[in-house]
Amino acid sequence: MGSTGTFQGARVVVTGAAGGIGAALARRFAAEGARVAVNDLDPARVRAVAEDIGAVPVPGDASAVVEEARDALGGAVDVYCANAGLASPGDAAAGEEVWSAAWDVNVMAHVRAARVLLPDWLERGSGRFVSTVSAAGLLTMVGAAPYSVTKHGAYAFAEWLSLTYRHRGLKVHAICPQGVRTDMLAAAGSAGELVLAPTAVEPGDVADALFAGMAEDRFLILPHPEVAGYYRARAAEPERWLGGMNRVQRTWEATGR
């Protein structure tokens, strides 16, 4: 599956697919001829998406969906899109339940999916794991410590999967957009309005970026290309980068948060 033309008949699972990026990914895979299973916590919304694009609805917790989705697709999965996520705003004082939920959805759901999928993928020498991370996983996000920390974890896990199994046929892609016009952006509140909204793209733009990246077998998918420059600056000049981000923090505080 080195190019988009090979997704005809591919068996694809997309979590968090009731709207936003997940729905856009599911729609694009279906348009490419894939057999798609869509997952989300909201049964009515995920069934509506499934009906619209000719997919199979598999409602429920993303952490426990793999085996049911695999059965619904005839016993195998070729592409798994770990897209479900929690925005999780808050600072270091955020409650244990906030941190635990963010860790469970943003990181451990990916780990649990890989745990189920890897034996078959490694045996047949092919498989594709798509992780919807966020630019916050490469950089950070003001006002959202649980989100920033767990998205770093999601990126680290995708990176580890790629470096560990690429010679055995596993292709991994980490999607790291900045603002995307979804319910999650709306939930980001004033911090999202300040940092993300000005350059926000549509969910379909994220799907386009993923398919362009898959055609080139690229690990890092940047719907906002400028993120590459920010990432380089963060690594090369961390003090300067942190100072710049602190100015964003102070601007946010001055607007009343």
Range of the domain at 125: 11-229
- Domain presence at residue 237: no
Note whether 252 and 191 are within 8 A (CB): yes
Q: Structure tokens of 105?
A: 């959805």
Number of domains in the chain: 1
Buried b / exposed e along 62-82 (16+ C-beta atoms within 10 A): bbebbebbbebbeeebbbbbb
At residue 180, the pLDDT reads 79
- Domain presence at residue 234: no
DSSP label at 24? H
Q: Structure tokens of 226?
A: 């400028």
- Domain presence at residue 253: no
Report the distance separating Cα 178 and Cα 193, nearest Å.
Answer: 12
Residue pointed to by tokens 């988009």: 4
- pLDDT truncated to tens, each residue of the chain (257 aa)? 434 458 999 999 999 999 999 999 999 999 999 999 999 999 999 999 999 999 999 999 999 999 999 999 999 999 999 999 998 889 999 999 999 999 999 999 999 999 999 999 999 999 999 999 999 999 999 999 999 999 999 999 999 999 999 999 999 999 999 887 776 656 556 665 666 667 778 999 999 999 999 999 999 999 999 999 999 999 999 999 999 999 999 998 998 76
- Domain presence at residue 126: yes
Q: Give 230-238's long-range contacts (Cβ < 8 A, gap of 24+).
A: 230/135, 230/138, 230/139, 231/138, 231/139, 234/138, 234/139
Sequence-separated (6 or more) residues with CB below 8 Å from residue 82: 15, 62, 109, 110, 113, 129, 130, 131, 132, 154
- Domain presence at residue 249: no
Report the distance separating Cα 137 and Cα 81, nearest Å.
Answer: 17
Report the distance separating Cα 50 and Cα 47, nearest Å.
Answer: 5
Instruction: Provide the sign of the torsion angle of the four alpha carbons 231, 232, 236, 240, taken in this order.
Output: negative
At residue 141, the pLDDT reads 92
- Domain presence at residue 63: yes
- Domain presence at residue 211: yes
Buried b / exposed e along 9-18 (16+ C-beta atoms within 10 A): ebbbbbbbbb
Q: Structure tokens of 182?
A: 């979804």
Query: H or E stretch including 156?
Result: helix 145-165
At residue 201, the pLDDT reads 82
At residue 3, the pLDDT reads 41
CATH number at residue 50: 3.40.50.720
At residue 4, the pLDDT reads 44
DSSP label at 2? -
Q: Structure tokens of 136?
A: 């916050």
Report the distance separating Cα 220 and Cα 237, nearest Å.
Answer: 21
Sheet strand arrangement including 35-38? 56-57, 35-38, 11-14, 79-82, 127-132, 170-175, 220-221
- Domain presence at residue 248: no
